[in-house]
Copies of this chain bind each other. A is one copy, B any other.
Amino acid sequence: MKNSAILLISCPDRKGEVATIADFVYHHGGNILHANEHADEESGLFLMRVEFDPQDFDIDLAQPGLADFTKAFSPVAETFAMTWRLAQSAHRPRMIILVSKYDHCLVDLLYRQHSGELACEIPLIISNHPDNQPIADFYKIPYVVVPVSKDNKAAAEARIHALIEERRPEFMVLARYMQILSNDFVNRYPQRMINIHHSFLPAFIGARPYHQAFERGVKLIGATSHYVTETLDDGPIIEQDVVRVSHQDTVEDLIRKGRDLEKIVLSRAVRLHAENRVLVYGNKTVVF
């Protein structure tokens, strides 16, 4: 697959932004492949994703740190007060997976990565249980057990933090990791930690959502993938989906049907994130 460059921009909405950015890319020899933008009326924010073919681009994008690109783009960025970053599709982001005992999302992500569908590296799996070591071994991914009990929460989190710092991942995925993380921990990784919640948020926040759904007698159940924030199950939503249920379905049936939803919703969210298609504004996402 050819490399493409992806410029992600967020700034106050003003006239001339699309033209200026398109011009910048064009005059440096880039060929725009996709351009998407969104203006949020409430916040007055302009968000844009430009993907271009850098083959004839006259600035070196292989340069670590991208000093030349930064220098060239800075005048444009300053004019429009842009927050921006440049990603490249050839770069495979590093993703650490946290998981407990339930293995369906883990197995699904590992298969997708292995088959090439998810273009990322997995330097490490962290779990509070040893159960999923065999599948990690099968895919040759390092697997570290950090047991968590009510007495060692802080120490366990410190250990997880150290493991993450060592491997320097671009982002983390909570693939049914059943431990609540502290605010301090969460705040270290804004928009870099993706969770799967097994309900159609904001319905059934918190524990045992399938049991809650069963109790309420809903006719559809859902799953939601979102960035983790301080408030439980309240972060910016990346992707959601639902499946039909009926009075014939027991709680066990909801759990079974839900597993397929969780896998698909989480893997879509991870893919969108890894492909630099998600921009966050306020507590919402734009998915380009």
By a CB distance below 8 angstroms, the chain B residues around A103 are: 115
A41-B33 Cα distance, complex, nearest whole Å: 11
Copies in the complex: 4
CB pair B240–A218 under 8 Å, yes or no, is yes
| Distance in Å: Cβ of A200 to nearest Cβ of chain B | 6
Question: Which segment of A3-11, A21-29, A141-149 sits at the interface?
Answer: A21-29
Q: Which of B23, B37, B202, B219 is A204 in contact with, Cβ under 8 Å?
A: B202
CB pair B217–A284 under 8 Å, yes or no, is yes
A31-B18 Cα distance, complex, nearest whole Å: 9
CB pair B217–A283 under 8 Å, yes or no, is yes
* Interface residue ranges of A100-127 to B (CB < 8 Å): 103-104, 107, 111, 115, 117
Task: Verify if A242 is at the interface (C-beta below 8 Å from B).
Answer: yes
By a CB distance below 8 angstroms, the chain B residues around A286 are: 247
CB pair A240–B219 under 8 Å, yes or no, is yes
By a CB distance below 8 angstroms, the chain B residues around A248 are: 38
Binding site for B on A (CB under 8 A): 15-20, 22-23, 25-27, 31-41, 103-104, 107, 111, 115, 117, 134-135, 138, 200-204, 216-220, 222, 236-242, 246-248, 250, 256, 259-260, 264, 282-287
